[in-house]
C-alpha cells in the first residue's frame, strides 16, 4: 500500500469536495435553506466549462470568469424570485421547493445537452515524486479549488458585503436593525453559493466526465462534507472536504471504491448523532 | 364530522375497487398506483403531517420492504408470510433508526433521513450474493391469469389503503395523535407538560414505516422485478410528502386527495411530455409551495375571491 499516494489522491479530491461544499454550507448557514439545486448547479458549471473548451480549445479554467458571472446571476435570480418567498418556512417547505427547482433544472439540462457523457481531453502528464505520482490535471483542480475557497474566505472576512453576510448569519434581526438589507444579502449569498458550485463544476471537467447523472453524487458530497466539517464556517468545510477525500481514498483502497461512499455516509450519520454541529462547527448555527 | 371523513374514505376505496369493472388494464394499473401512493402518503402523514418532522426516508422503508418481501419469496416463503416478514423487519429497522435520528431536529433530521435512503441503497447494492446487487432481483410471479393478478394487487393495495386510513383515524382521535400535534407545535412545551416525546415520535416513525414496508413488499410481488435504484429512489421520498402536502398534511382526507391529483397529473405528463416528466413534477412542487402552502383541503375560498394572499401555516405560530 502506497500511503503517500493515497494521501495525495485523497487531498486532491478532498480539495474539490471542499470547493463544492463551501457554497452549500454558506447558503445553509446564512439562509437556513438546504439547497438541493447545488448538485445541478455544479453540473451546469461543468457544461459551461465543457462548451467553452469545445469552442475555444482553451483549458476550461479560463472559462471561470464567464461561468462565475452567469451562475451568480442564475443563483441570485433563483433566490429572489422563488426561494425568498419561503425563506422563513420550515425545512420541509424549503427543501421540497429547492428539490422541485432541481428537478426542473436537471430536466432542462438533460433535454438540451442530452444524457450522453462528454469528456474534456487533456494531456498534461504527471509529476513523478519518486514514491508517488501526481497527475497535473488533478493538481490543477486541487489548486484551483483551494484558491476559490480561500478567496471566498477572504471576501467574507475583509469586504463589507462579506461582513454583512456574516452578520446576517449570526442574527438577521439585529443585522436588519443595523441597516443591512437582509433581502439583498440573501440574494447575494445564494448567488455566491451558485457561483462556487458553477466554478467548481467548470474546473471539474478536467478530471470528471460531464453529465447530468453526476448531479446527485455532487450534492451528496456537499451534504457529507457539510455535516462532517460543521456548518457555518469555511475552515470547517475545507477540513470536512479534505477529510472526506482522504477517507474515501483509503476506504476505496481497503474495501473497494463502491463501498467507500457507504462508509462516508455511515461516518456522516455518526457525526450527526454525536456532534450535530460538525467536527469543527460553531455553536449557534444549527 | 370525523365519521363523515371516514365514510368518504371508504366510499373512495370502493370506487377505486370498482375500476376493475371497466375491464381496462391501464385504468386498473392507475387505480392500483393511486391506492399504493395514497397508502404511502398516509404513512408519511404520521411523522411528517402530525408530528411535523420533515422525514424524507419513505423510499428507505419502501425499498427495504421490497427487498425483504422479495427475498422471503425467493427463499420459499408464501406471499402473505413474506409480506408479514417485510412489515416486521421494516418496523424493527425504523424503530432502531428512529431512536437515533429522532434526536435530531429540523434540517439535521431532514439530512439524516435522506442519508438513510442512500445508505440503504448502497448497502443493498454492495451485497450482490444475497440481493443480486445492481442487476436486481427477480421475484416469483403469481401464477394466475394476468387479469386475476391485476385484480389481486388492486385489492391488496386498496386494503392497505383502508387499513392505513383506519389507523390514521384511530391515531388522530387518540392520546397519541394529540401528543403528536403538541410536538408539532412546540416540542419543548410538549415535553414540559409530560408528553414522552421520544416514545411518541418513535411510534409515529414506526407507524409511518410499516405501511411503506407492506406496500413495498406487495409492489415487489406485483412487478416481479426490483433493483436498488428503483426501490430506493429518492424521488419517491420527495413525491410522497408532496402528495400529502398537496392535499393538506395532518388532515384526514388530504393525503388521499393529494395522491389522486398527483398520480393523474403524472400520468398525463408521462403520456404527453415523456421528456419533460421530471420538470413537470418540479413545476407541481413549485406551484404547490407558492399557491397551496396549506394544501387543497385547507384552502380558504373566501380568500381566493377577495384575492387575499393565503396565510401560510407556519405563520400561525
Minimal Cα distance from B56: which residue of A?
A92
Please give, rounded to a whole number of angstroms, the shortest distance from the CA of A123 to a CA of chain B. 34
Residues of B in contact with A106 (CB under 8 A): 278
pLDDT at A43: 94
CA distance A18 to A240: 7
Residues of A in contact with B108 (CB under 8 A): 227, 272, 276, 286
Tell me: pLDDT of B24 over 50.
yes
Residues of B in contact with A34 (CB under 8 A): 107, 110-111
Coil, strand, or helix at residue B126?
coil
Give me the residue spans of the domains in chain A: 3-221
Contacts of A282 (CB under 8 A, 6+ apart): A230, A231, A232, A233, A236
Tell me: pLDDT of A269 over 90.
no
What average pLDDT does the segment B183-203 reach? 88
C-alpha cell recorded at residue A9: 489522491
CA distance B216 to B228: 12
Q: Is the minimum CB–CB distance between B228 and chain A shorter than 8 Å? A: no
What is the pTM for the complete model shown? 0.89
Q: Dihedrals φ, ψ of B226, to 5°?
A: -135, 150
Q: Binning pLDDT at 50, 70 and 90, where does residue B229 land?
A: confident
With cell 484551483, the residue in question is A144
CB contact under 8 A, B122 and A269: no
The ipTM value here is 0.86
Residue A136: alpha-carbon gap to chain centroid: 22
Contacts of B32 (CB under 8 A, 6+ apart): B150, B153, B154, B157, B222
CB contact under 8 A, A261 and B122: yes
Q: Which of residues 36-55 of B touch A (CB under 8 A)?
A: 48, 52, 54
In tens, the pLDDT along A35-63 reads 999 999 999 999 999 999 989 888 888 88
Question: Residue B28: which of B143, B152, B141 has the closest Cα?
Answer: B152
Identify from A104, A110, A232, A267 which residue to disrupt to test chain B contact, counting B C-beta atoms within 10 A and taking the largest count.
A104
Q: Binning pLDDT at 50, 70 and 90, where does residue B271 land?
A: confident
In tens, the pLDDT along A180-224 reads 888 899 999 999 999 999 999 999 998 888 988 888 889 999 989
C-alpha cell recorded at residue A211: 453529465
CB contact under 8 A, B312 and A110: no
Please give the DSSP secondary-structure letter assigned to residue B243.
H
Residues of A in contact with B126 (CB under 8 A): 258-259, 262
Minimal Cα distance from B242: which residue of A?
A96
pLDDT at B315: 44
Tell me: pLDDT of B47 over 80.
yes
In tens, the pLDDT along B150-180 reads 889 999 999 999 999 999 888 988 898 888 9
Minimal Cα distance from A264: which residue of B?
B119
Residues of A in contact with B244 (CB under 8 A): none
* Percentage, residues of chain B above pLDDT 90: 30
Tell me: pLDDT of B310 over 90.
no
Q: Is the minimum CB–CB distance between B284 and chain A shorter than 8 Å? A: yes
Please report, in angstroms and rounded to a whole number, the separation of the first and last CA atoms in chain A: 40
Contact criterion met (CB below 8 Å) for A208 and A218: no
Amino acid at each position: 500500500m502506497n500511503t503517500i499516494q493515497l494521501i495525495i489522491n485523497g487531498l486532491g479530491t478532498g480539495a474539490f469536495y471542499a470547493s463544492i461544499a463551501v457554497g452549500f454550507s454558506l447558503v445553509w448557514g446564512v439562509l437556513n435553506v438546504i439547497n438541493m439545486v447545488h448538485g445541478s448547479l455544479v453540473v451546469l458549471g461543468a457544461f459551461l466549462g465543457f462548451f467553452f473548451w469545445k469552442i475555444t480549445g482553451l483549458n476550461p479554467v479560463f472559462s471561470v470568469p464567464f461561468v462565475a458571472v452567469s451562475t451568480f446571476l442564475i443563483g441570485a435570480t433563483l433566490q429572489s424570485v422563488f426561494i425568498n418567498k419561503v425563506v422563513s418556512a420550515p425545512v420541509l417547505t424549503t427543501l421540497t421547493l429547492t428539490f422541485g427547482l432541481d428537478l426542473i433544472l436537471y430536466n432542462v439540462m438533460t433535454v438540451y445537452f442530452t444524457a450522453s457523457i462528454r469528456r474534456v481531453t487533456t494531456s498534461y502528464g504527471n509529476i513523478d515524486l519518486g514514491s508517488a505520482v501526481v497527475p497535473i490535471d488533478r493538481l490543477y483542480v486541487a489548486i484551483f479549488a483551494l484558491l476559490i475557497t480561500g478567496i471566498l474566505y477572504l471576501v467574507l472576512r475583509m469586504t463589507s458585503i462579506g461582513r454583512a453576510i456574516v452578520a446576517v448569519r449570526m442574527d438577521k434581526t439585529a443585522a436588519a436593525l443595523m441597516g443591512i438589507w437582509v433581502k439583498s444579502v440573501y440574494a447575494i449569498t445564494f448567488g455566491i453559493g451558485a457561483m462556487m458550485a458553477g466554478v467548481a463544476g467548470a474546473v471539474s471537467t478536467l478530471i470528471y466526465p460531464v453529465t447530468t447523472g453526476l448531479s446527485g453524487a455532487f450534492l451528496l458530497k456537499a451534504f457529507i462534507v457539510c455535516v462532517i466539517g460543521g456548518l457555518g464556517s469555511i475552515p470547517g468545510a475545507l477540513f470536512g472536504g479534505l477529510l472526506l477525500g482522504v477517507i474515501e481514498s483509503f476506504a476505496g483502497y481497503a474495501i473497494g471504491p463502491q463501498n467507500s461512499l457507504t462508509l462516508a455516509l455511515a461516518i456522516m450519520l455518526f457525526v450527526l448523532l454525536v456532534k450535530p454541529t460538525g467536527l469543527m462547527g460553531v455553536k449557534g448555527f444549527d | 364530522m370525523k365519521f363523515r371523513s371516514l365514510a368518504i374514505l371508504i366510499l373512495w376505496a370502493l370506487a377505486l375497487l370498482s375500476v376493475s369493472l371497466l375491464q381496462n388494464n391501464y385504468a386498473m394499473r392507475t387505480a392500483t398506483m393511486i391506492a399504493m401512493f395514497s397508502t404511502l402518503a398516509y404513512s408519511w402523514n404520521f411523522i411528517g403531517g402530525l408530528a411535523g418532522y420533515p422525514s424524507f426516508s419513505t423510499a428507505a422503508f419502501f425499498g427495504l420492504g421490497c427487498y425483504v418481501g422479495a427475498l422471503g419469496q425467493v427463499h420459499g416463503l408464501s406471499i402473505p408470510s413474506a409480506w408479514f416478514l417485510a412489515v416486521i423487519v421494516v418496523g424493527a429497522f425504523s424503530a432502531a433508526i428512529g431512536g437515533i435520528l429522532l434526536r435530531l431536529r429540523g434540517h439535521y433530521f431532514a439530512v439524516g433521513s435522506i442519508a438513510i435512503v442512500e445508505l440503504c441503497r448502497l448497502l443493498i447494492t454492495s451485497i450482490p450474493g444475497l440481493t443480486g446487487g445492481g442487476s436486481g432481483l427477480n421475484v416469483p410471479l403469481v401464477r394466475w391469469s394476468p387479469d386475476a393478478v391485476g385484480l389481486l394487487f388492486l385489492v391488496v393495495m386498496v386494503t392497505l389503503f383502508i387499513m392505513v386510513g383506519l389507523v390514521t383515524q384511530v391515531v388522530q382521535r387518540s392520546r397519541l395523535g394529540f401528543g403528536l400535534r403538541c410536538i408539532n407545535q412546540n416540542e419543548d412545551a410538549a415535553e414540559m407538560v409530560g408528553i414522552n416525546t421520544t416514545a411518541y415520535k418513535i411510534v409515529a416513525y414506526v407507524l409511518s414505516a410499516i405501511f411503506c414496508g407492506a406496500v413495498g413488499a406487495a409492489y415487489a410481488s406485483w412487478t416481479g422485478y426490483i433493483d436498488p435504484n428503483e426501490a430506493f429512489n429518492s424521488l419517491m421520498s420527495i413525491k410522497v410528502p408532496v402528495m400529502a402536502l398537496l392535499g393538506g398534511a395532518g388532515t384526514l382526507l388530504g393525503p388521499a386527495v393529494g395522491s389522486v391529483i398527483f398520480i393523474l397529473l403524472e400520468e398525463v405528463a408521462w403520456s404527453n411530455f415523456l421528456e419533460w416528466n421530471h420538470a413537470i413534477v418540479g413545476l407541481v412542487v413549485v406551484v404547490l409551495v407558492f399557491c397551496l402552502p396549506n394544501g387543497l383541503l385547507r384552502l380558504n375560498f373566501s380568500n381566493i375571491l377577495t384575492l387575499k394572499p393565503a396565510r401560510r401555516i407556519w405563520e400561525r405560530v
